């Protein structure tokens, strides 16, 4: 039988999303929240900003699924053409 022990307790704070806030910068918003937490909250061991990274094709917006940072497996005509051009340049050098 498995015994479960909860460890590494923490509080995660998500700032208000920038949607509908005009010219809001998400990084600046997070820095302001972090500074406020560090200034006003007792008992904080550490606080830091974390973020997720979503990679997509700069041409068509498709989710980036390839290991190659330059070629997404031909997700669109532009991706395929750019890869073809890159290969031709490599042959010339």
Rg (CA), the chain: 22
Query: Residues 66, 81: one domain?
Result: yes
Query: Residues 20, 45: one domain?
Result: yes
Query: Residues 57, 85: one domain?
Result: yes
Query: Residues 57, 73: one domain?
Result: yes
First-last CA distance in the chain: 63
Are 29 and 16 contacting, i.e. CB atoms less than 8 angstroms apart? Answer: yes
- Does residue 57 sit within a domain? yes
Please tell me the distance from the alpha carbon of residue 22 to that of residue 18, in angstroms, as a whole number.
8
Confidence category of residue 93, pLDDT binned at 50, 70, 90: low
Query: Residues 41, 25: one domain?
Result: yes
pLDDT at residue 26, rounded to an integer: 85
- The answer to whether the predicted template modeling score (pTM) of the entire model surpasses 0.75 is no
Domain range for 80: 53-93
**Region 3-18 average pLDDT:** 87
């Amino acid at each position: 039988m498995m015994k479960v022990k909860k460890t590494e307790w923490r509080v995660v704070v998500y700032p208000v999303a920038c949607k509908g806030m005009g010219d809001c910068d998400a990084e600046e918003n997070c820095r302001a929240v972090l500074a406020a937490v560090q200034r006003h909250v007792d008992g904080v061991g550490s606080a830091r900003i974390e973020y997720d990274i979503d990679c997509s094709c700069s041409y068509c917006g498709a989710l980036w699924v390839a290991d190659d940072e330059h070629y997404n497996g031909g997700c669109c005509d532009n991706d395929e053409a750019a890869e073809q051009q890159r290969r031709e340049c490599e042959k010339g050098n």
